[in-house]
């Protein structure tokens, strides 16, 4: 009986309930109710136990160990978040705040879907990029350079003067009826159906959440951050499915905090409808208003946001849901691949 129950599918929250509680508009018998705004749907009141949840998102119980680890961490985070909502910051708890924010950035469905989308986008980008002759030439040159360094070809090519090796290699390929770009395209077409992008994204996320030290670099990127709690004079915050939003020096708009080891200038996490956790690097005094944080949070979310109110303001936000949810757009992926050809 115990074995059967331990392997049974389980509803698991990728947006923690300890955070969702801060956006409840009413509580009844220890049940917290908020308004959920979901893409393609109408806003409705919902028990937060049904928000940001998916079956076996972190794997079956005792299978991956992630759910148990998250539960232990949340037992530490919960009293911390309650103190932050009261506006109280203990400097000694900075490492725990860093850990909480890091954990929240990485654990969501938003980030998993983002990496899946980016992986698919890389395949599509290869097809776009090598359709242009100048990029085909650059890729062809890159492939030839790699072949010149191939350990099985180097002894043969070493028999010829270095200045002629490229020309000889091209002649060998031509006489064999081989076109490096065509071979590359065929390999890409053969590989694509067999690469489990969704599985790879899931495995990478679970590994990051399961292994001690896997998130160390991301936590280290928050070391220069100084934390405070902001209570707006008016207005209320909403919570998107990505958690915090961030500002980086190279971009004036608030962005997803999913940058690889990059320290943001500022980071903003709504922790309640009238509380905002603010992190800033030393010397950055900038503050944002409620609407700026809310719009960024909604636009960068993929599926939903929650609020303690359902008014015309939130309905206007709903129209913006997911408008900037992609980690990298097509042009950015294409530019990255072209750089790899150089």
Distance CA(236)–CA(231), nearest Å, equals: 9
Q: Give 288's pLDDT tier (boundaries 50, 70, 90).
A: confident
Residues 105 and 218: beta-carbon distance below 8 Å:
yes
Q: Which pLDDT band, with edges at 50, 70 and 90, does 260 fall under?
A: low
Range from 41-55, 297-311, 328-342 carrying the lowest mean pLDDT? 328-342
Per-residue pLDDT for 9 more than 60? no
| pLDDT of 134 above 60 | yes
Q: Is residue 1 very low, low, confident or very high in pLDDT (cuts 50, 70, 90)?
A: very low
CA angle 95–233–51, rounded 5-degree value: 60
Return the pLDDT at 210. Answer: 87
Give ∠ CA 250-252-254 in degrees, rounded to 5.
105
Using CA atoms, how far residue 155 sits from 4, 160, 161, 168, 174, in Å, is 60, 10, 12, 14, 20
Mean pLDDT of the chain: 87
d(C-alpha 184, C-alpha 167), whole Å: 20
Confidence of residue 54 (pLDDT cuts 50, 70, 90): very high
Using a 10 angstrom Cβ sphere, with 0-12 exposed, 13-18 middle and 19 or more buried, the burial of residue 104 is buried
Total-model pTM = 0.83
Q: How many residues does the chain have?
A: 342
Please compute the mean of the pLDDT values over residues 93-112 and round it to a whole number: 95
- Least Cα distance to 104 among 227, 218, 13, 15 occurs for 15
Distance CA 121, CA 288 (A): 33
pLDDT (0 to 100) of residue 62: 65
Distance in angstroms (rounded) separating the CA atoms of residues 2 and 10: 15
Average pLDDT over residues 249-272: 86
Question: Who has greater pLDDT, 20 or 338?
Answer: 20
What are the helix (H) ranges across the chain?
Answer: 2-6, 17-20, 66-85, 94-107, 109-129, 133-148, 154-157, 162-175, 180-191, 197-210, 216-221, 290-300, 312-318, 330-341
**Nearest Cα residue to 96 out of 108, 109, 84, 85:** 84
Element (H, E) at 92: none
Confidence of residue 13 (pLDDT cuts 50, 70, 90): very high
Task: Output the six-digit token pair for 182.
Answer: 């065509």
Smallest Cα–Cα separation from 253: which of 148, 323, 190, 151?
323
Tokens of 19: 């955070």
Q: What would you report as the CA-atom Rg of the chain, rounded to the nearest whole angstrom? A: 25
Is the pLDDT at 296 greater than 60? The verdict is yes
Q: How far apart are CA 326 and CA 302, in angstroms?
A: 9
Percent of the chain with pLDDT over 70: 93
């Amino acid at each position: 009986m115990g074995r059967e129950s331990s392997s049974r599918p389980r509803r698991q929250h990728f947006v923690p309930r300890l955070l969702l509680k801060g956006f409840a508009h009413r509580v009844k018998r220890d049940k917290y109710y908020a308004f959920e705004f979901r893409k393609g749907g109408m806003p409705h009141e919902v028990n937060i136990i049904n928000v940001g949840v998916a079956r076996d998102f972190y794997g079956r119980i005792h299978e991956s160990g992630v759910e148990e680890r998250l539960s232990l961490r949340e037992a530490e985070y919960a009293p911390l978040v309650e103190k932050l909502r009261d506006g109280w910051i203990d400097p000694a708890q900075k490492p725990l705040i860093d850990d909480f924010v890091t954990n929240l950035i990485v654990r969501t469905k938003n980030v998993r879907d983002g990496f899946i989308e980016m992986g698919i986008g890389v395949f599509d980008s290869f097809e776009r990029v090598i359709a242009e002759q100048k990029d085909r030439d650059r890729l062809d040159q890159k492939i030839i350079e790699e072949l010149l360094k191939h350990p099985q070809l180097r002894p043969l090519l070493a028999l010829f003067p270095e200045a002629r090796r490229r020309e000889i290699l091209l002649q060998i390929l031509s006489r064999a009826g081989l076109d490096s770009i065509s071979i590359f395209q065929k390999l890409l077409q053969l590989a694509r159906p067999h690469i489990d992008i969704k599985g790879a994204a899931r495995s990478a996320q679970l590994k990051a959440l399961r292994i001690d030290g896997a998130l160390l670099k991301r936590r280290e990127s928050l070391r220069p951050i100084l934390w405070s709690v902001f209570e707006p004079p008016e207005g209320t915050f909403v919570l998107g499915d990505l958690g915090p939003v961030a500002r980086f020096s190279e971009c004036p708009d608030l962005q997803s905090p999913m940058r690889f080891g990059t320290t943001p200038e500022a980071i903003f996490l709504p922790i309640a409808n009238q509380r905002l956790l603010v992190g800033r690097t030393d010397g950055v005094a900038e503050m944002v208003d409620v609407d700026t944080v809310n719009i960024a949070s909604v636009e960068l979310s993929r599926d939903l946001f929650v609020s303690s109110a359902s008014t015309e303001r939130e309905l206007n936000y709903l129209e913006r849901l997911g408008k900037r949810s992609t980690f990298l757009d097509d042009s950015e992926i294409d530019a990255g691949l072209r750089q790899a050809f150089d």
